[in-house]
Structure 1
Amino acid sequence: MSEQYLGILATMSRDWPLPGSEVPQERSSASSSGSDWTSRTSSSQGKASTKIYHTTKVLVGNHEHPSKLRWPSFVEPVRPKRGSTYAKPRWERDIRGSEVRRPNHTNKAGQQQHAQEQHDRVRFKHIEKPAPLPSYVAQVAHQLHMVQQTEIEKYLGDPPAGLQLIQLRMVLPRELDSLKVLDETRRSKEVWITRVDWSIIDVHAESMKSLRGALKEINWFMHDMLREDQSRLPRLLLQSPTRATEQSRILLSALRPRVDYAMHLALDTTAAVKKVAASITAELNAQADVILGGIKELEMRAKFGYVQLDHNRSSLGKSVLYGDLEKHFRNYGHHGDTKFESRFLEPHRAELLLLYLLDPANGACGFPESMRESCSVTFSADRLELSADIVGPSAVHPQVAGMRLLEVELEPRLNLITVCPDFTHDWNLSIRSSEHKNVSKIDDKLVMKLSFRPAQRFGPQDVLKQPSIEPFTLGKFGNKVTETRLRTSAIVPWKTTPYLVEIGVTTVWKGINLGIQPRVFWDVQVYGNHWESAVNRVRSDIRRKDWGPDMCDVWTGEEKTMTGRMEGFVKEMLGIQAVLEEYS
């Protein structure tokens, strides 16, 4: 039998008498170490007396461990009264996991021991366990993976010297901004691709098999480039007359075609809705591969504005019948002679339009209280746009937040212009793509230091009032800035539909020189409340966007066909167009 158990039995025979025998009184005073228990024992005469018993301890490692012995059946522990000298000991685990006795805080030694334990807890709390060493199999697999990655990544650079390589030169349909779009072809087909000029590349391969595989991939890439170029050309759609007839004359003397005479009240819009919806659906389906391809972020917007056509390239004369204009649309758009201007002058009209939408009597806004405002500042430098949101433009100290740097494509992926000669405004549906870039720490600090003077607002009609920018500097990035834009907008829900109407006012300066006279415009945009997330949803198995079957995630509605759901959108666009006609 071990010495620990012999010591326990000896203590039991000495300190704990058998039932019915007299209990010996070994100690008459409390131990200052807090290791004693106060107990009440019942004698055979029914009198109670207080006895002190010593607690058995066993050393476990460097700590005292209480024995697992139980109190005898004739002993009942007593809870000490407040202020009593004898405190009931409590057990706890220390930072090493062993059970130790909590010291008695009634004396100085116990307080010092407690303070030392608290110090050890803080000291060892932040010590992290060392990471387990990987197994031999894991180390070999990691080394093999690193070797394979090195072999693959070598094709992303220039071809090594001293190898007998097959070389082929190719001319692309247009200039290529970066060769990174061909990195997957380099890795999978094991070829080197270098740039000779912006639109000329050289392909180097060690075998004909690799070269043929790379040529197949590059040919498909060139095919997509050609289709993308075709999709970027504006598509002109003619809206059927609702305030005129098919026999009305359209004047072509100005840049924008317009009817000679338009009625004030619109006729039935059913035919116009069906025709435009069918045309938009056909264009979206035809360009779906180009629109949904890639992983860049998309933004889809419908804007009101003016179409501008260069009639010098056509032989239509000064006027044409309404029904004959669509036949000649194929003569436009292929030579840069079709433009769409979405910025209006006279910004005070934006406030009038906003008040009309917020008036409950007009029924144009389903929830006027849900209107929200937005304010931002944007610095444009070629294809880069550095933007930041302004929080509290009418507060005492407007703050800058939400900074982002985007590389935007100059031409939209889709640009469908609906020409409306019997209205003052046309409208278009465009899809633009952009890619997020990292903002340097220097530019981040400079933009965050921008200061503004609050806008003076006194009512709902002043939501579009803008704050004033204090003079600023942007360092090296400021030398590249070609345009500075300060924009405030009000976003209003359109009736009870999922579409929003955004009315914005934009102040534009050339460069970052705020001392020159700026230009002020206003615009009207329409988009779905769900478009931002729906148009950028990506499938996990392929690198392309997923708009659902028949694009039902973007074009929502109760209709089963895409054309039917598109008719709901076009109908709302014509309704907003009629409201905008009053404030043109």
Structure 2
Amino acid sequence: MASRNPTLHFNIIMVSRSKRIAHRGGPGHSRSTSQSTGTPSRESSTNKSLPTSSPKKPSPKKALKQRANRHPRGRFGTGDTMCSAQRMVDMQRQDAIYLSQSEYCSAPPIGLELVHMQIVIPGDTLVPKALRNLQVFDEIRREHRVWITREENSETCFDVSATHTKPLHVALNAINQKIHDMRLSEESLTAHYFVQSPEGDKESTIGYEIGKRPVVKGAKNNSHYSKYMLDALVIQFAAALPPALKTLKFLRYLTMHVDFGHLNISAKPKTAGKRLSVEEFSRALNLYSSRGRGATIQTEMPNLEVANELLSSLISHSEISKENAEATLTHHVQFEVDKQTVSADLLDREGSVMATSSKCTQTEGHPPLDWIVSAPATYMDWNLRVDSRPNLVGDRSGQLSEATANFVHSFIFKIDGEDCAETDTPSKEADGPPRRFKLPRWQTAAHGNLAQVSSNFRTKSCARLQYRDTPYEIQLSITQHWAKLPVSAKPDRLSWSVSVSSIHWEEALSECKSNESSREFEGALLNRLWPGEGSLKERLKEFLECVFSIQTAIVELQS
């Protein structure tokens, strides 16, 4: 973030015919340049060899007579007269140039002697979601006459090829600027950072290091939130919400949820120290909102025993759940094929759990709204996200093809008496409502062509619990992860997560009308998202009390 233009670090390897030159560069090494190969565009092209003088124009009277005698079909700019020879040659030249430039939008030809350059973007957090489709580089490919391809199974490594070295250097600056612009357009306009300020913040110092979570130095985790924390965040949310909701006006099919996790610093200003005051830390987080994201929240946590204890604690917590509350358990399976997500519900049928209601979806590139709240005085951070609901792909109903559906329905799981905990502690109140997770175990390996191409296989077990007498719902889930199709019941890794959503949020977001004025839209949407009497601050306070109560319950188990 110290450099104005490029904010990405590149590892560049240049291979020029028989010579190999290694070059490592960063933002300071990528020189800004205005050089261009001078490739003519398709829209404007001239030929100096052709005569530039135009024929003599007829007199005004003669022109009026010719126009009056012309057939109506040839009037109003749709004349049936033939183009001039110069115009026809010019159009042919433009088409030839466009077709010749189109060859750069594919893989480089085999057998052609080329100079190669490799660009490596370190870390997935710095890769814009729009880079999943390399068509975003088509303009650069045509203008600078370079081939841009991606290594197989790599989202962060690109190969750039050209017939000479000069267009490679010019294309590097163009690619760098393009990625920088995409990051700003995807993140800085939607991501905002807030600080859940601790009491006595004037004397507090916060650790601020790359690869670590910001925490208050010399202080223990505070499990209980204070009125000061709540009121300060209510004021910030009430001021920032109305203008932020403008980004949702023309979007459809949105979902809204709160996720808990740990904030991780992946990049920081060079001038920032390792210990900051609360005010300095707030300013540092604000830079991420305007200059691109350098801090992300990790919502997957590894200690599964905490998930079991948290589920039992939430059910019996009088300030969170209703009396005699029961958690609803559901199971789902997901995997990816050709960058599309195939998902299905799991239902228990006579002891065997099988997949049903399968569908294929494709997720949007980035969230339209992402608010991250850092809580350095407690154990748990959180964020408020508004995502585009995954798009159904395939046929109009989003159902899978017959081969894919049969592949999914061949999955067999079993939910037995073993729970997810690593210890052998028996479940409390075994005859009552479920207070511990029971995970589906993989039983039978599926066969078929899709078994070789499927990846990121996971099963998700979710427990849902209503928060008091409110529309808010707590979702606690455990996910089993496999890199590919499972070959055994033991997953590659396990994780758990907790989130909050509302049964009315999705309906409220889908009722947005683009023909409303900005002020009417903001007021109506705020009333639908957080209904009730009183001002916006009073309604937000009730919502944040729900978030803080769950945050406190998690911190109490961790301390």
Q: TM-score range by the shorter chain?
A: 0.5 to 0.7
1:505 alignment partner, SS class: strand
Match of 1:486 among 441, 459, 465: 459
Does structure 1 residue 568 correspond to structure 2 residue 555? Answer: no
Report the alpha carbon displacement of residue 332 of structure 1 after superposing the two structures with TM. Answer: 3.4
Q: Aligned partner of 1:402: which letter?
A: S
CA contact (8 A) 1:499 1:526 kept: yes
Report the alpha carbon displacement of residue 506 of structure 1 after superposing the two structures with TM. Answer: 0.6
Greater Cα radius of gyration, structure 1 or 2: 1
Report the alpha carbon displacement of residue 246 of structure 1 after superposing the two structures with TM. Answer: 2.7
Over residues 263-287 of structure 1, what are the superposed CA-to-partner deviations in whole Å (9 max), with x where a residue is unaligned? 5666773332233233334444333
In structure 2, the CA distance between the partners of 1:336 and 1:227, relative to structure 1 (3 Å rule), is closer
Distance in structure 2 (CA, Å) of the matches to 1:345 and 1:567: 31
Report the alpha carbon displacement of residue 298 of structure 1 after superposing the two structures with TM. Answer: 1.8
In structure 2, the CA distance between the partners of 1:386 and 1:175, relative to structure 1 (3 Å rule), is closer
Distance in structure 1 (CA, Å) of the matches to 2:305 and 2:205: 33
Match of 1:552 in 2: 527
CA contact (8 A) 1:302 1:427 kept: yes
Q: Aligned partner of 1:443: which letter?
A: T
Match of 1:396 among 336, 342, 351: 351
TM value normalised by structure 1? 0.57
**Structure 1 vs Structure 2: percent identity of aligned residues?**
20
2:444 alignment partner, SS class: coil
1:483 alignment partner, SS class: strand
CA contact (8 A) 2:410 2:446 kept: no
Report the alpha carbon displacement of residue 380 of structure 1 after superposing the two structures with TM. Answer: 2.5
Match of 2:470 in 1: 497
**Pairwise mapping of residues 61-140 of structure 1 onto structure 2 (< 5 A)?**
none
CA contact (8 A) 1:247 1:323 kept: no
Match of 2:510 among 521, 536, 539: 536
Does structure 1 residue 437 correspond to structure 2 residue 393? Answer: yes
Report the alpha carbon displacement of residue 252 of structure 1 after superposing the two structures with TM. Answer: 2.6
Distance in structure 2 (CA, Å) of the matches to 1:540 and 1:330: 30
Report the alpha carbon displacement of residue 258 of structure 1 after superposing the two structures with TM. Answer: 0.5
Match of 1:158 in 2: none
Q: Aligned partner of 2:384: which letter?
A: L
CA contact (8 A) 2:367 2:387 kept: yes
Over residues 192-244 of structure 1, what are the superposed CA-to-partner deviations in whole Å (9 max), with x where a residue is unaligned? xx999277899xxxxxxxxxxxxxxxxxxxxx9898524566422111214x5
Distance in structure 1 (CA, Å) of the matches to 2:462 and 2:402: 29
Match of 2:363 in 1: 408
Match of 1:286 in 2: 243
Distance in structure 1 (CA, Å) of the matches to 2:241 and 2:141: 32
Q: Aligned partner of 1:389: which letter?
A: D
Report the alpha carbon displacement of residue 443 of structure 1 after superposing the two structures with TM. Answer: 0.8
Does structure 1 residue 342 correspond to structure 2 residue 299? Answer: yes
Q: Aligned partner of 1:386: which letter?
A: V
Structure 2: gaps of 5 or more residues: 1-87, 99-127, 144-180, 395-399, 419-426
Report the alpha carbon displacement of residue 452 of structure 1 after superposing the two structures with TM. Answer: 1.2
In structure 2, the CA distance between the partners of 1:403 and 1:323, relative to structure 1 (3 Å rule), is same
Match of 2:321 among 335, 343, 365: 365
Match of 1:271 in 2: 228
In structure 2, the CA distance between the partners of 1:470 and 1:162, relative to structure 1 (3 Å rule), is farther
Over residues 307-340 of structure 1, what are the superposed CA-to-partner deviations in whole Å (9 max), with x where a residue is unaligned? 1113553423221222331122234364553121
Match of 1:470 among 437, 443, 447: 443
Distance in structure 1 (CA, Å) of the matches to 2:137 and 2:461: 46
Distance in structure 2 (CA, Å) of the matches to 1:235 and 1:398: 42
Match of 2:102 in 1: none
CA contact (8 A) 2:479 2:495 kept: yes
Does structure 1 residue 455 correspond to structure 2 residue 416? Answer: yes
Distance in structure 2 (CA, Å) of the matches to 1:436 and 1:277: 37
CA contact (8 A) 1:234 1:338 kept: no
Report the alpha carbon displacement of residue 577 of structure 1 after superposing the two structures with TM. Answer: 0.9
1:583 alignment partner, SS class: helix
Give the length in aligned residue pairs: 381
Q: Aligned partner of 1:444: which letter?
A: A
Report the alpha carbon displacement of residue 575 of structure 1 after superposing the two structures with TM. Answer: 1.5
Report the alpha carbon displacement of residue 163 of structure 1 after superposing the two structures with TM. Answer: 12
Structure 1: gaps of 5 or more residues: 1-160, 180-193, 203-223
Distance in structure 1 (CA, Å) of the matches to 2:136 and 2:262: 41
CA contact (8 A) 1:447 1:474 kept: no
CA contact (8 A) 1:304 1:427 kept: yes
Q: CA RMSD in A?
A: 3.9
CA contact (8 A) 1:236 1:416 kept: yes
CA contact (8 A) 1:368 1:492 kept: no
Match of 1:197 in 2: 138
2:528 alignment partner, SS class: coil
Does structure 1 residue 427 correspond to structure 2 residue 382? Answer: yes
Report the alpha carbon displacement of residue 564 of structure 1 after superposing the two structures with TM. Answer: 3.2
CA contact (8 A) 1:412 1:432 kept: yes
Greater mean alpha carbon deviation, residues 473-482 or residues 548-557: 473-482
2:376 alignment partner, SS class: coil
1:431 alignment partner, SS class: strand
Report the alpha carbon displacement of residue 421 of structure 1 after superposing the two structures with TM. Answer: 0.5
In structure 2, the CA distance between the partners of 1:316 and 1:372, relative to structure 1 (3 Å rule), is same
Distance in structure 1 (CA, Å) of the matches to 2:251 and 2:142: 22
Report the alpha carbon displacement of residue 508 of structure 1 after superposing the two structures with TM. Answer: 0.3
Distance in structure 2 (CA, Å) of the matches to 1:231 and 1:311: 15
Match of 1:257 in 2: 214
In structure 2, the CA distance between the partners of 1:575 and 1:261, relative to structure 1 (3 Å rule), is farther
Distance in structure 2 (CA, Å) of the matches to 1:339 and 1:382: 26
CA contact (8 A) 1:309 1:332 kept: no
Match of 2:259 in 1: 303
Distance in structure 2 (CA, Å) of the matches to 1:385 and 1:198: 30
Match of 2:342 in 1: 386
CA contact (8 A) 2:225 2:552 kept: no
Report the alpha carbon displacement of residue 162 of structure 1 after superposing the two structures with TM. Answer: 12
Over residues 4-25 of structure 1, what are the superposed CA-to-partner deviations in whole Å (9 max), with x where a residue is unaligned? xxxxxxxxxxxxxxxxxxxxxx
Distance in structure 1 (CA, Å) of the matches to 2:460 and 2:303: 15
In structure 2, the CA distance between the partners of 1:286 and 1:198, relative to structure 1 (3 Å rule), is farther
Match of 2:195 among 204, 222, 238: 238
Match of 2:487 among 480, 504, 514: 514
TM value normalised by structure 2? 0.60
Higher relative contact order (CA 8 A, sep 6+): 2
Greater mean alpha carbon deviation, residues 332-341 or residues 483-492: 332-341
CA contact (8 A) 2:332 2:345 kept: yes
1:532 alignment partner, SS class: helix
Over residues 483-527 of structure 1, what are the superposed CA-to-partner deviations in whole Å (9 max), with x where a residue is unaligned? 011111111111222211111111100021434751001111111
1:260 alignment partner, SS class: coil
In structure 2, the CA distance between the partners of 1:512 and 1:346, relative to structure 1 (3 Å rule), is same
Q: Aligned partner of 1:373: which letter?
A: L
In structure 2, the CA distance between the partners of 1:226 and 1:289, relative to structure 1 (3 Å rule), is farther
CA contact (8 A) 1:308 1:339 kept: yes
Report the alpha carbon displacement of residue 262 of structure 1 after superposing the two structures with TM. Answer: 3.1
Distance in structure 2 (CA, Å) of the matches to 1:225 and 1:293: 20
In structure 2, the CA distance between the partners of 1:233 and 1:473, relative to structure 1 (3 Å rule), is farther
In structure 2, the CA distance between the partners of 1:513 and 1:268, relative to structure 1 (3 Å rule), is closer
Distance in structure 2 (CA, Å) of the matches to 1:232 and 1:378: 31
In structure 2, the CA distance between the partners of 1:454 and 1:555, relative to structure 1 (3 Å rule), is same
2:351 alignment partner, SS class: coil
